[in-house]
Amino acid sequence: MRLYKEGIELPKEATEIFGRLGSAMGHAHCLNYLACLLFEVEQLDAAEEVGSLVITLFLVQGNQHQVCQSHRILGEIYRSKGEREMAIYHFEAALGIASSFSWNDGLLFTHHALARLAFDQGKFDDADAHVERAKTRAVGNAYFLGREMELQSWLLVSTTLI
């Protein structure tokens, strides 16, 4: 846990440095990383607060790719908190952005996350449908296709154990 505490302090310090330098983009990137770290150590309320700020900062900068990623991170945070509607809101926002730019990776990762959310809710058909959508985005990338097949296998096995 000590390393996580140090790991969380460093991006905080870096955001202060970028703030003094006037680098809004550097500030936003550090906060985005901080939100991910806070999520990892299950400081979900703090991760939510930082993640929401990050979306605003990236929107101001016009960095839609990072806005998309930040929505996905917030979706994961809300999924972990059991706040299904907020998770869906952020995942759908990420899908909308990724769709408008035809970003396969953004679509794949978001459908993957939606599959896990659907599974958490006992919506097994929806989970499988999201895996299938993700697999269509993995064409040409054996690693991503393998990850989706792994998730689909896990979903199939888990539903038979329920």
Strands (E), the chain: none
Q: Which domain holds residue 42?
A: 1-102
Domain's final residue, options 54, 80, 102: 102
Cβ density class 93-122: b for 16+ within 10 Å, e for less: bbbebbeeeebbebbbbbbbbbbbbbbeee
| Residues 67, 10 share a domain | yes
- Calculate what percentage of the chain has a pLDDT beyond 90: 56
Q: Supply the pLDDT for residue 20.
A: 85
Domain's final residue, options 61, 84, 102: 102
| Residues 110, 70 share a domain | no
User: Can you tell me the mean pLDDT for 44-60?
Assistant: 93
Residue 5 scores a pLDDT above 80 = no
Number of domains the chain contains: 2
pLDDT per residue over 133-161, tens digit each? Answer: 999 998 888 998 888 888 888 888 877 66
Q: Supply the pLDDT for residue 118.
A: 94
Q: Supply the pLDDT for residue 13.
A: 84
| Residues 113, 35 share a domain | no
Residue 117 scores a pLDDT above 60 = yes
Query: Are 106 and 68 a contacting pair, CB within 8 Å?
Result: yes
Q: Which range, of 99-103, 115-119, 158-162, averages the lowest pLDDT? A: 158-162
